[in-house]
Amino acid sequence: MASKSQKLTFPADFLWGAATASFQIEGAANEDGRGTSIWDTFCRTPGAVVNGDTGDVACDHYHRYPEDIELMRQIGIKAYRFSIAWPRIIPEGTGAINSAGLDFYDRLVDNLLAKEITPYATLYHWDLPQPLQDAGGWPNRATVDAFLKYTDIITYRLGDRVKNWITINEPWVVAFLGYWLGVHAPGIKDMAAATQAAHHTLLAHGQAVPIIRANSSGARVGITLDINWIEPASDSDADKATAEGMDGFNHRWFLDPLYKGEYPADVLNFLGENAPKVQEGDFKAITTPTDFMGVNYYRRTITKHDPAQPGGTGFEHPEGEYTAMDWEVYPLGLYNVLTRLKRDYAIPPLYITENGAAYEDELTPDGQVHDDKRQAYLEGHLAACHRAIQEGVPLKGYFVWSLLDNFEWAFGYTRRFGITHIDYTTLKRTLKQSGEWYGKVAQANGF
Ligand code: IFM
């Protein structure tokens, strides 16, 4: 690692961005013809989301996007990763197109370009139209076809101006939190459904790539995976096997099909009859070469063999710094993830499409948020990125999660990840100290 006094300068073309997602910030849930998403339904399921919070208003970005974009311009952020709400574009999931939804993203993109901020659009960040879930959701192969039609429509409309596309955000979370653990929408607990959902998100990704390229000349396309750092608690064979198993289930389950064209044998073996049904040609689609891969990194997990726990996997919680999510602050893990990707896979260029931390921020009487811990978190992780780049990892950019405090899924509004504070009563935006610092880093291309 670099010493504190050393200035870290990033490559001249390194991209400094900020990220959000539609359901987490837009609000305007019942406006301009938007349909219902699985998260609208999940929020109304008793006990599913803390405080029964919903995305109905969120940060009201749907109306306040010019203010949010202007804020990015002022602090010097060069790229904005947002997601498109499928239920705004095709309210029923298939069939009729809602032109008011298309118009919204037109305005958003034009405003970004007018402020010289490069749009990075994610097609799916978890807000599946409810009618598609009623027809079986991601475990149903027909959802892939619906996704491809939606992809065609939105990339045809925006493809002349948006040249960077992310197909699916965090397929592990989509499939396994949504369909196995049931702690995310649609709240299903069925391992076979989850692995089938996972397979279909990968298929949807692979089949979408040529459609996007056809509609958006010169487009750069990628997928975003959530990859954290998993370590065994000890050198014992049992603990090492547990860590290896978890890495297989969380990471190799997606990386191997994308970059090797097959599922990892150890995970298939573990899944047994819960393994997904794969059709001929699926891996050919899934391995379609992409222009980049997005990595969302947040934390380290330490695992140990514990027969008393489900799947024989226990966890250790060493002394250290933890965020409000109870996630360990571990920048070395990001360096480890990046160098591991380069070592183990024929990866395309990488972007950190999310990295950041939730803390219990306080708006103090001086009207500011002195979020030193978040600033330190970002500093540590950016130093890890810098070190990985020095060692040859093709890392091309970094998007902080998140531009705004927002709806943190099952935690509702109780977790704040933003570099901008949101007062959820007045919807007033206040740039936090970490945001000011991050803007300076972006402008200086280092710190
Ligand atoms: O808020 C989420 C985001 O939607 C996906 N990645 C992780 C973030 C923090 O939990």
User: Model confidence over 66-94: pLDDT tens digits?
Assistant: 999 999 999 999 999 999 999 999 999 99
Whether pLDDT at 37 is above 70: yes
Mean pLDDT value across residues 92-116: 98
| Res 288: pLDDT | 98
Task: List all residues 6 or more positions away from 99 whose beta carbon is below 8 Å from its beta carbon.
Answer: none
| pLDDT (tens digit per residue) in 232-285 | 999 999 999 999 999 999 999 999 999 999 999 999 999 999 999 999 999 999
| Res 201: pLDDT | 99
| Domains by residue range for the chain, with CATH | 15-444 (3.20.20.80)
How many CA atoms are closer than 13 Å to the CA of 71, on its beta-carbon side? 22
Q: Which of 295, 279, 288, 278 is nearest to 258 (CA)?
A: 288
A 10 A CB-CB count for 122 gives: 26
Q: How far is the CA of 355 from the centre of ligand 1 (A)?
A: 9
**How confident is residue 18, by pLDDT bands cut at 50, 70 and 90?**
very high
CB environment 369-402: b (16+ within 10 A), e (fewer): bebebbbbbbbbbbbbbbbbbeeebbbbbbbbbb
Q: How far is the CA of 233 from the centre of ligand 1 (A)?
A: 26
Would you say 285 and 207 are in contact if contact means Cβ atoms under 8 Å apart?
A: yes
Q: How far is the CA of 170 from the centre of ligand 1 (A)?
A: 9
Q: What's the CA gap between 44 and 405, in Å, rounded?
A: 21
Q: Which of 371, 338, 342, 340 is nearest to 353 (CA)?
A: 338
| Res 311: pLDDT | 84
Is 296's C-beta closer than 6 angstroms to any atom of ligand 1? Answer: yes
In the chain, the percentage of residues whose pLDDT exceeds 90 is 98
Catalytic residue among 26, 231, 328, 354: 354
Mean pLDDT value across residues 358-367: 97
Q: What's the CA gap between 19 and 25, in Å, rounded?
A: 11
Q: How far is the CA of 436 from the centre of ligand 1 (A)?
A: 22
Task: List all residues 6 or more positions away from 128 whose beta carbon is below 8 Å from its beta carbon.
Answer: 37, 38, 86, 93, 137, 138, 143, 185, 186
Q: Which tokens hold the place of 374?
A: 């978040």
A 10 A CB-CB count for 30 gives: 11
Instruction: Look over the chain and give the mean of its residue pLDDT values, rounded to a whole number.
Output: 98
Is 170's C-beta closer than 6 angstroms to any atom of ligand 1? Answer: yes
Counting from 1 in the atom list of ligand 1, the atom nearest the Cα of 358 is: 9
| pLDDT (tens digit per residue) in 152-187 | 999 999 999 999 999 999 999 999 999 999 999 999
Q: Is 170 a catalytic residue?
A: yes
Q: Is 354 a catalytic residue?
A: yes
Residue among 168, 354, 413 to mutate when testing ligand 1 (max atoms within 8 A of CB): 354
Mean pLDDT value across residues 126-147: 99
> What is the residue type of 301?
T
**How confident is residue 5, by pLDDT bands cut at 50, 70 and 90?**
low
Q: How far is the CA of 279 from the centre of ligand 1 (A)?
A: 31
Q: How far is the CA of 408 from the centre of ligand 1 (A)?
A: 7
Mean pLDDT value across residues 102-128: 98
Is 354's C-beta closer than 6 angstroms to any atom of ligand 1? Answer: yes
In the chain, the percentage of residues whose pLDDT exceeds 70 is 99
| Res 310: pLDDT | 84
CB environment 54-86: b (16+ within 10 A), e (fewer): bbebbbbbbebbeebbebbbebebbbbbbbbbb
| Res 236: pLDDT | 98
| Res 6: pLDDT | 83
Is 408's C-beta closer than 6 angstroms to any atom of ligand 1? Answer: yes
Q: Whose CA is nearest to atom 1 of ligand 1?
A: 408
Is 361's C-beta closer than 6 angstroms to any atom of ligand 1? Answer: no
Task: List all residues 6 or more positions away from 205 whose beta carbon is below 8 Å from its beta carbon.
Answer: 167, 168, 171, 223, 286
Q: Whose CA is nearest to atom 4 of ligand 1?
A: 21
Residue among 296, 377, 413, 416 to mutate when testing ligand 1 (max atoms within 8 A of CB): 296
| Res 11: pLDDT | 98
| pLDDT (tens digit per residue) in 303-354 | 999 999 988 999 999 999 999 999 999 999 999 999 999 999 999 999 999 9
DSSP conformation class of 279: -
CA-to-CA dists, residue 231 to 299, 305, 408, angstroms: 11, 12, 26
**How confident is residue 17, by pLDDT bands cut at 50, 70 and 90?**
very high
Q: Whose CA is nearest to atom 2 of ligand 1?
A: 408
| Res 4: pLDDT | 60
Residue among 408, 411, 419 to mutate when testing ligand 1 (max atoms within 8 A of CB): 408
Would you say 315 and 234 are in contact if contact means Cβ atoms under 8 Å apart?
A: no
Task: List all residues 6 or more positions away from 340 whose beta carbon is below 8 Å from its beta carbon.
Answer: none
Catalytic residue among 26, 170, 231, 379: 170
Q: How far is the CA of 160 from the centre of ligand 1 (A)?
A: 29
